[in-house]
Every structure is written in structure tokens, then in C-alpha cells.
Structure 1
Amino acid sequence: MTDQNELIEQKSWWNRNWKWVVPVGGCLTLIILFIAFLATVIFGATKMMSGSEPYQDSLTKAQQNEQVIELLGEPIETVGIMQGSISFSNNDGDADIRIPIKGPNGEGIIYVVAEKRNDVWTYSEQEVRIDQNNEVIDLLNEGLDQEDEEEY
């Protein structure tokens, strides 16, 4: 006589678990797609902003400024995610951005406020604030000596 357990056919894993696998798998798929969409939007916006003239000009000035190099060291690189906004309309635009930077000796943030009229960017603020000592380095007046700066 055969054992009674041998006659009972075992259900497959799928047949035993499909009732919870389908909804959970569907929800996970939607969550992953949503996260991928958000990442694409954030990456696209960041890429557009980091390719802008105010971003490039300000980063280059900070990387070449003697005071910034003295305080942060070289190389000076961006770190983290840029914050702020840039808007364009025809040949006009506005920018108000903060660019986190770092060097071997410390970190800082480049603050930029600019306006574009008739295809020309004019900066009202372009400075680096060093995190360690709260020092502010004005990138707009970097070519002026102290006497010229007072008249400016």
C-alpha cells in the first residue's frame, strides 16, 4: 500500500503565490517607473542648468580666482546638486543659482544672480562663500584692486 502523501499532487510555487505576487509586482513596477521618470526630469533640468552660460562662467571664474584657490586648493570641482532657477524666453533670461564646490582644503558655494537682455548676460551677484570661515569672495570685482573697488 502506498503512502497517502505520495498521492497528493503538490502545487507549483506560482499556483500557491500568484495572488500576492501579481499586485506586489505591479506596484513595484509602477514605483520603479515613477522613480526613473523623476530621475530623468531632475537629470535633464540639472544638465540644462549646468550647460548655461551663468553656470559655466561662474565656475570658471571660481576655478581661476587666486583667493578661492588659496582657501579651497586645486582642483576645484562641483559637488552635489546645483540649486536655483534659470529661465529663458527668446533672447532674454534670468538666473538665480547656487553651485556647491569643493577643493582638497574645503568646500564652498558659488552664488549667481544674472539677467540676460538682448542675448547678453549681466551679473548682479557672482560670489563664492567658503563654508569653513564664512568668507565671501566677490567674483565680479576680482580684477579691481581695493581702491578701484571702493569707487565701483
Structure 2
Amino acid sequence: MNNDLVYRKNWWESYWKWFIAAAVFVIGIGLFLISNMNSEGLDLVQAYSEKALYENALEKVKANQKVIAILGDLQPLDQLAILEGSTKYSTDKQRIETTVRIKGSKTNAKMDILAFKKGSNWEYEKINIRIKSKNEIIEII
């Protein structure tokens, strides 16, 4: 019998071609998705940085006694609420139409905002609270 050792290829030597093909495929899909990202996705990323827009709107909502009676104490907006919502900017990025969820101690709702930028501040044209459990809309502005 021959006692020569059997040489066994390591993983890289055996599968390097598959690895390169898979890496090229994943990178290609990633570049395709990035290049075809719709404007709503880009708007959402920009809206994520507009904390004052949401915080000021929420303060106006907290001043409404009817909303507080239905929703209870309102929690501050978390960043996930903004990412879960929908956002659409005008082409010049000076107007925004956005919807985010708000949480109260009694129930949750959606806050719809329509605003335009005046200098570095946001002026609100519309703030509505939509309460799904009661099928009701409360106009704040």
C-alpha cells in the first residue's frame, strides 16, 4: 500500500470562483437598488434630520385638549416613527407632506403634517390627528 497523504483543498481553493460570483452579484444588486431609489426613500432620509418639524408639531398637538382626552399623555416621537411614516417633499425641498405615528398612554394615532419652510423655520399649513380606533380626524391647524 501506498501511504502518501491525500491533499485536500481548503475552502477558498475549492470555492473561490463561487465566492467571487456571489460577491459581484450582491454588489450589482446593491448598486441597482441605490441608483433606482425612488424620491420617497430619499425624502424619508431628509425628513429624518428635520427633528424640529416634528417636535414643534407635536407641541401644538399636546395643547389640544380633545386629543389629550382621547389619546392620553403623548410620548415624544422616536426616530423609528419618522422612518415608518411617509414623507414627500416638493421639488425645491421647501414644502413637506408627512405622516408619522404618535403614541399616547390610551391609544395610538397618526399625525399628518403639511408645512413649508420659511427661512430656517417650518410654518404649518395643516396638522391633523387621525385616530383609527374611533375613525375620527381632529384638525389642529
TM-score above 0.5, yes or no:
yes
The answer as to 2:113 corresponding to 1:86 is no
Give the Å deviation of 1:128.
Answer: 0.9
For the residues of structure 1 that align with 2:10 and 2:120, how far apart are their CA atoms? 68
Residue matched to 1:68: 67
For the residues of structure 1 that align with 2:26 and 2:69, how far apart are their CA atoms? 50
For the residues of structure 2 that align with 1:14 and 1:118, how far apart are their CA atoms? 58
Change (3 A) 1:76 1:63: farther
Give yes or no for contact 2:43–2:87 (8 Å, CA) kept in 1.
no
CA RMSD between the two structures: 3.6
The TM-score normalised by the length of structure 1 is 0.63
Change (3 A) 1:70 1:36: farther
- What letter corresponds to residue 68 of structure 1 in structure 2? V
Residue matched to 1:51: 51
Residue matched to 1:10: 8
1:44-82 CA-to-partner distances (Å, cap 9, x unmatched) read 32323x3354x3332211133222122112233433523
Larger Rg: 1
Consecutive unaligned residues in structure 1, runs of 5 or more: 141-152
The TM-score normalised by the length of structure 2 is 0.67
Change (3 A) 1:52 1:87: farther
Change (3 A) 1:12 1:42: farther
Give the Å deviation of 1:132.
Answer: 0.6
Taking only the aligned residue pairs, the percentage that are identical comes to 24
Consecutive unaligned residues in structure 2, runs of 5 or more: none
For the residues of structure 2 that align with 1:7 and 1:120, how far apart are their CA atoms? 76
